[in-house]
Structure 1
Amino acid sequence: MSLRELVVLGTSSAVPTRHRNHNGYLLLWDGEGFLFDPGEGTQRQMLLAGVSAHDITWICLTHLHGDHCLGVPGVVQRIARDGVAHPVTAVYPASGRAYWERLRHATVFADTDVIAERPLSGPAVELPAGPVTLTARPLSHPVEAYGYRIDEPDGRRMLPDRLAARGVRGPLIGRLQREGVVTAPDGSTVTLEECSAPRPGQSVAFIMDTRMCDNVHVLAEGVDLLIIESTFLDVDADLADAYGHLTAAQAGQVAARAGARHLVLTHFSERYGHADEPRFTAEAAACYSGPVTLARDLQRVPVPRRRRSAS
């Protein structure tokens, strides 16, 4: 059975708090594991969340500020220590390569050769990632930063009533899916389009440290799950813009404009306390009518069930 869910490992911004670890997000997707922005303490958070180094197939850094990457040494060494045998691809902004190298080889340890590096540069980078495509686009932050989007290809779902009506059953169904056309028992030709309906692929966007820019909207367009920073409340909108961040209200605006199906708010400034948390949800919900999750450490958020188009 497929598993598509976000495992939240940390939700703070520059400074961890008693209740929120530095960033860390593991998106599990049908055997792939995309580890986004592992901040300090990620290795321990993974243990508490019940996930392991063997679940990681990608390490994706949005940028090289510490709260988004100081967990890399521990994660890399855990990959080596646990004997992870499958390839792990590391993607990060090319301008931060010197910092990546320091993190990748931070201490003395028995190294691993399974990690392949893929520095990012340019306006858009698309990478095949198992059953999906991983796309990176630059954002607007004081240092070079990228946001990510994961897209499953569109497919088709079979319609049992139409299959039965045409006498297509058993092994013929699989052949119809593979080849697009079969000969029914009565000698007639049956096409895939006759017995199926479009099945939109699922998608997830991961948008961290950025002020509003065109690529925020491009990355978020039509996604099933939008994971986005909401570092500040609207009262501090000027600070957010000055430091290259978003407010909760802006995150809600992005989700509404994009038609996102589920909004996950995260990356909260330590300046706000527990009493302020409902304000983040309220500000986002004032702009966006869909479900809003205020992310908490060790929480699991499933990717919404796929859309079903009309038959």
Structure 2
Amino acid sequence: MRELVVLGTASQVPTRTRNHNGYLLLWDGEGLLFDPGEGTQRQMILAGVSASQVTRICLTHVHGDHCYGLPGVLSRMALDGAEHRVELHYPASGDGVVRALVSLATGVLDLHLRPHGSAGEVAPGLSVQPLRHRVECYGYRLVEPDGRTMLPERLAAAGVFGPEVGRLQREGRLGQVRVEEVSVVRPGQKFAFVMDTAPCAGAEELADGADLLVAECTFADEESELAAAYLHLTAGQAGQLAARAGARRLLLTHFSSRYPDLDPLRRQALERAGGAEVLAAVDLERIPLRRRRRTAQGRPAR
């Protein structure tokens, strides 16, 4: 199962209907918790997910609305008896803040701190890129390795059946038959998480070809000067990011409390999003990661 559970969508100031940030990506038995803001533990209960499902925590930066929920989540995991290893990724310059927050948690947990200070892979398939914000900030990108889709008609023509198909997949060759001859590449899924930032190269690298791009959308286009002053994205800039990156779906979030109605923001993003589907995130909703469809020629379709 692969889906994103939205735990909170507010920026600095929460509202009656929007909690501070929090996003749980369920990915093949792993649970990646991004930017747990204040109240995340309660939001997880309301969303019907367990703190014990968290295997990795990823902080983009140490502003409070992106990390103040950390002690509660860690304490709840310990209380629930989570015994698995938990990795905590965060910008190295925020080490003092992160250690202070971790020290507030109670109970015993197999927690490992993993600060990073530059772009690159921080775990298998998980990489970071620097963003442009008022403090050191990194976005995250999770990529599944490419696989192969076996083509039944080609397998039959080559005389490969039953258990031999699995052997061919594992070994890459069966007699004179090569796996490339009876299959096509299946692109791995890509997930991108771009939080507080002004437009920058790092955001574009993260978003490149993403099946699901989660991007901050703090301000409407009319507030572009304010967005530039505080180094945030407007709705239109988020849409443009998706278009340039060729993203399939754009999920807008991190909304200023000045916008009770999110549809105008969604429409502004949609106008500049190219072929990307655009959604405005809602607290407690679940966003599935869609498997790629294929054309008859084996090429991935949007």
Q: Where do residues 121-136 of structure 1 align in structure 2 (5 Å cutoff)? A: 121-122=117-118, 124-129=119-124, 133-136=125-128
* Residues 1:284 and 2:276 are matched in the alignment: no
Q: Give 3-state SS (helix, strand or coil) of 2:139's partner.
A: strand
- Matched residues in 2 for 1:118 and 1:65: separation? 18
Q: Give 3-state SS (helix, strand or coil) of 2:269's partner.
A: helix
User: Partner of 1:294 in structure 2?
Assistant: 280
Is the 8 Å Cα contact of residues 11 and 20 (structure 2) preserved in structure 1?
yes
Identity of counterpart residues, as a percentage? Answer: 58
Is the 8 Å Cα contact of residues 158 and 177 (structure 2) preserved in structure 1?
yes
User: Partner of 2:291 in structure 1?
Assistant: 305
Gaps of 5+ in 2: none
TM-superposed CA distance for 1:251, in Å, is 0.2
User: Partner of 1:146 in structure 2?
Assistant: 138
* Residues 1:118 and 2:114 are matched in the alignment: yes
- Matched residues in 1 for 2:150 and 2:259: separation? 50
Q: Give 3-state SS (helix, strand or coil) of 2:62's partner.
A: coil
Is the 8 Å Cα contact of residues 37 and 62 (structure 1) preserved in structure 2?
yes
Is the 8 Å Cα contact of residues 116 and 122 (structure 2) preserved in structure 1?
no
* Residues 1:26 and 2:24 are matched in the alignment: yes
* Residues 1:169 and 2:158 are matched in the alignment: no
TM-superposed CA distance for 1:190, in Å, is 1.1
- Matched residues in 2 for 1:200 and 1:273: separation? 38
TM-superposed CA distance for 1:307, in Å, is 4.6
TM-superposed CA distance for 1:44, in Å, is 0.6
- Matched residues in 1 for 2:107 and 2:244: separation? 48
Runs of 4+ in structure 1 off by over 2 angstroms are 307-311
Bigger Cα displacement from structure 2, 138-147 vs 283-292: 283-292
User: Partner of 1:186 in structure 2?
Assistant: none
Is the 8 Å Cα contact of residues 219 and 232 (structure 2) preserved in structure 1?
yes
- Matched residues in 1 for 2:80 and 2:143: separation? 30
Per-residue displacement from partner, 1:14-49 (whole Å, max 9, x unpaired)? Answer: 011001000000011111111000000000110111
- Matched residues in 1 for 2:122 and 2:116: separation? 11
Per-residue displacement from partner, 1:149-172 (whole Å, max 9, x unpaired)? Answer: 000111111111111112211110
TM-score normalised to the size of structure 2? Answer: 0.96
- Matched residues in 2 for 1:8 and 1:179: separation? 40
- Letter of the 1:210 partner, please give it: T
Q: Give 3-state SS (helix, strand or coil) of 2:101's partner.
A: helix
User: Partner of 2:227 in structure 1?
Assistant: 240
- Matched residues in 2 for 1:9 and 1:204: separation? 17
Matched length: 296
User: Partner of 2:88 in structure 1?
Assistant: 90
Q: Give 3-state SS (helix, strand or coil) of 1:105's partner.
A: helix
